[in-house]
């Protein structure tokens, strides 16, 4: 008998994936902020941590609207991205290039989140979960703005500082 998994099942599983990812990001951002030497980068990490708390609250609201428990599912992708960030923090500690590496790691996280939230928004719309789709779009727009801010910070100062060292 064929496996009867539906788009609704895939949507639910992916929502659990991003829920887990956001919780991991909440744990990583303070460490990244502590290691950053650029005041702008440090501030971006601290601001995004506050935003991420809002993302988790929004996800809790989505689970509630869907009548499902707010539960995460291990996301190997985000664990790998965060492990790479930890490696950069260890390998480049005290180096002029550390901030460039931190910004790059943060953007890898943002790109993952943008991909996930974009897909989830589309699926929510297709499944008729319009209120959930609106919440997903709110988070998606915040993730896009964070990615743009990180690009601005990196290209206006920290990449040049790393290059000059």
- If DSSP states are collapsed to H, E and C, what string results for 63-81? HHHHCCCCCCCCCHHHHHH
**Mean pLDDT, residues 60-68:** 97
Domain ranges for the chain: 7-164
CATH code for the domain defined by 7-164: 1.20.1260.10
- The model's pTM: 0.94
Q: Is residue 43's pLDDT more than 80?
A: yes
Residue 116 DSSP one-character state: H
- Residue-averaged pLDDT of the chain: 96
CA atoms of 12 and 148, how far apart (whole Å): 29
Secondary structure element (H or E) that encloses residue 128, with its range? none
For residue 3, is pLDDT > 90? no
Q: Do 48 and 146 form a contact (C-beta atoms < 8 A)?
A: yes
Residue 58 pLDDT level (bands cut at 50, 70, 90)? very high
**Confidence grade of residue 130 (pLDDT, cut at 50, 70, 90):** very high
């Amino acid at each position: 008998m064929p496996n009867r998994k539906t788009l609704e099942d895939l949507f639910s599983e992916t929502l659990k994936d991003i829920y887990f990812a956001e919780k991991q990001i909440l744990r990583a951002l303070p460490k990244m902020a502590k290691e950053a030497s650029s005041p702008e980068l440090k501030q971006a990490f601290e601001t995004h941590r506050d935003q991420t708390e809002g993302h988790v609250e929004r996800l809790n609201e989505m689970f509630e609207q869907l009548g499902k428990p707010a539960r995460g599912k291990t996301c190997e992708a985000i664990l790998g991205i965060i492990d790479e960030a930890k490696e950069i923090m260890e390998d480049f500690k005290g180096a002029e290039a550390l901030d460039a590496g931190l910004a790059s790691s943060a953007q890898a996280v943002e790109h993952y989140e943008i991909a996930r939230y974009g897909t989830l928004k589309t699926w929510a719309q297709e499944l008729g979960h319009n209120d959930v789709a609106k919440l997903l779009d709110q988070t998606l727009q915040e993730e896009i703005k964070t990615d743009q801010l990180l690009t601005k910070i990196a290209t206006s100062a920290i990449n040049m500082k790393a290059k000059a060292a």
